[in-house]
C-alpha cells in the first residue's frame, strides 16, 4: 500500500501579521471561525464529490482558497485551486487524486494550526 505523506507548513508570518493587525482576541476569533468554515467546506466538498455534484463541489472548494490564504495555509489554498482546475477540465481521474490530496492536506493543516495556537506569536 502506498503511504501518502507530505509536510504541511503554515505561513507563520501571515498569522503574525493577522494578530498584529487585529489584536490577539480578534485574531483568535477570525482564526477559529476560519477553521470552522474550512472544516465545514471540506466536509461539504467531500459529500458533493461522493454524490457527483461537481458544480456545488467546485463552489465549495473554490471558497476554501481565500479562507486558507487568510490564515496562512498556502498549500491548502493551492491544492484547492488544483481541484477546481480538475473540475473545470472535466478530468475525473485527476480530480479523484487531487481531491484526496486536498482532504489529507486539509486535515493536517487544521491539526497544525491548532498546535500552533498554543505557541505565543
Distances (CA, A) of 107 to 16, 92, 104, 113: 22, 22, 5, 10
**What's the pLDDT at 103?**
95
What's the pLDDT band for 121 if we cut at 50, 70, 90?
Answer: very low
**What's the pLDDT at 1?**
65
Burial 31-64 (b: 16+ CB within 10 A, else e): beebbeebeebbebbbebbeeeebeebbbbbbbb
CA distance 37 to 58: 16
What's the pLDDT band for 115 if we cut at 50, 70, 90?
Answer: low
Helices then strands, counting H and E runs in the chain, come out as 5, 0
**Average pLDDT value for residue range 8-31:** 90
Residue 56 has pLDDT above 90, yes or no: yes
DSSP letters along 63-98, please?
A: HHHHHHHHTT-HHHHHHHHHHHHHHHHT-HHHHHHH
12-118: CATH architecture: Up-down Bundle (1.20)
Distance of CA 118 to the CA centre of its chain: 20
What's the pLDDT band for 97 if we cut at 50, 70, 90?
Answer: very high
**What's the pLDDT at 116?**
62
**What's the pLDDT at 118?**
56
**What's the pLDDT at 3?**
63
**Average pLDDT value for residue range 22-33:** 92
Helix axes 74-89, 92-117, angle to 10 degrees: 160
**Average pLDDT value for residue range 57-68:** 96
Residue 61 has pLDDT above 80, yes or no: yes
Count other Cβ atoms within 10 Å, centred on residue 100.
Answer: 14
Higher pLDDT, 7 or 93: 93
Amino acid at each position: 500500500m502506498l503511504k501518502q505523506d507530505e509536510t504541511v507548513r503554515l505561513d507563520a508570518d501571515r498569522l503574525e501579521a493577522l494578530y498584529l493587525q487585529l489584536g490577539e482576541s480578534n485574531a483568535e476569533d477570525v482564526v477559529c471561525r476560519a477553521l470552522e468554515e474550512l472544516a465545514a467546506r471540506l466536509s461539504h466538498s467531500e459529500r458533493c464529490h461522493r454524490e457527483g455534484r461537481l458544480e456545488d463541489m467546485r463552489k465549495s472548494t473554490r471558497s476554501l482558497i481565500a479562507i486558507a490564504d487568510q490564515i496562512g495555509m498556502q498549500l491548502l489554498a493551492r491544492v484547492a485551486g488544483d481541484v477546481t482546475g480538475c473540475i473545470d477540465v472535466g478530468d475525473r481521474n485527476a480530480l479523484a487524486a487531487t481531491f484526496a490530496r486536498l482532504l489529507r492536506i486539509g486535515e493536517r493543516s487544521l491539526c497544525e494550526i491548532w498546535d500552533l495556537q498554543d505557541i505565543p506569536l
